[in-house]
Amino acid sequence: RPSINKKTSLARGPSIPTITSFLSIYSENITPFLVHGIWHSTPQRRPAPLRWRQAPRLITLVLVAGVALALRLAGASGLLATALGISFGLLGLAVMLLWSRRRGLMVHCTSLCPIGLVVALAGKLSPFRVRVSAACTDCGACTAACRYDALRPADVRARRPALSCTLCGDCVGACPHGALGYRFGRLRPESARALFLVLVVALHASFLGLARI
């Protein structure tokens, strides 16, 4: 009906600023609330860095996009597409439960998710950043806290997280020297972090409410 379409477009339209500014934090932290809760409710291993960081995500993205395009061109039934989608989702769950926990990393996000690389690149549109200050002593506390393989020793020495950083902030609280913090313009790190969290929560709640109107 026209009224429903109008409301739907209204609900989708305003969310563009949210997506472009906070895409990484949405994809990696807000969406998998259940997995995140299970993850932090049990003892964790020290992260074991993956040999490759970007290649698996690029390969997965190309494969998934290729299969989707092939199904479209072949006129495959919706049932087949649904079955393949469910199968891929189950594969992701298996990776979460088996590989991610064993490695101490969110492997399903950093290596399997086909949108992971797109999210990481689009997330760079956000004016918010996590930066390592001169107070860093290279102690490795942030490396142990990061579950997205974004703070390897080489990244810490470069004083900036890798592309897989999702702005989750786990490293900020883990640093005993206060060397990590959010950056936004000329704001202090504490103020930038507070602003970031307030904006994410407020925009998310606002657009969810608008979508229900």
For residues 123-141, average pLDDT: 88
For residues 161-181, average pLDDT: 90
pTM of this prediction? 0.67
Q: What are phi and psi of 130, to 5 degrees?
A: -105, 125
Identify the band that residue 166 occupies on the pLDDT scale cut at 50, 70 and 90: confident
Rounded CA-CA distance 98/135 in Å is: 37
Q: Is 132 helix (H, G, I), strand (E, B) or coil?
A: strand
Rounded CA-CA distance 199/77 in Å is: 41
Q: Spell 175-211 as b/e; 16+ CB within 10 A means b.
A: beeebbbbbbeeeebeebbeebeebbeebbeebeeee
Rounded CA-CA distance 29/166 in Å is: 8
| Contact criterion met (CB below 8 Å) for 150 and 144 | no
Rounded CA-CA distance 212/74 in Å is: 36
Q: Is the pLDDT of residue 96 over 70?
A: yes
Q: Is the pLDDT of residue 37 over 70?
A: no
Find the DSSP H helices in 77-188. Answer: 78-94, 101-103, 107, 116-122, 141-145, 153-157, 170-174
pLDDT at 61: 87
| Contact criterion met (CB below 8 Å) for 117 and 109 | no
Rounded CA-CA distance 190/178 in Å is: 11
Q: Is the pLDDT of residue 11 over 70?
A: no
pLDDT over 90 percentage in the chain: 21
pLDDT at 45: 58
Q: Which has more confidence, 115 or 16?
A: 115
- Per-residue pLDDT of 53-78, as tens digits, reads 677 788 888 898 899 899 989 988 88
| Contact criterion met (CB below 8 Å) for 103 and 48 | yes
Q: Which has more confidence, 88 or 22?
A: 88
Number of neighbours of residue 55 by Cβ within 10 angstroms: 12
pLDDT at 28: 52
Identify the band that residue 2 occupies on the pLDDT scale cut at 50, 70 and 90: very low
Amino acid identity for residue 65 in this structure: A
Identify the band that residue 99 occupies on the pLDDT scale cut at 50, 70 and 90: confident
Tokens 């964790």 correspond to 44
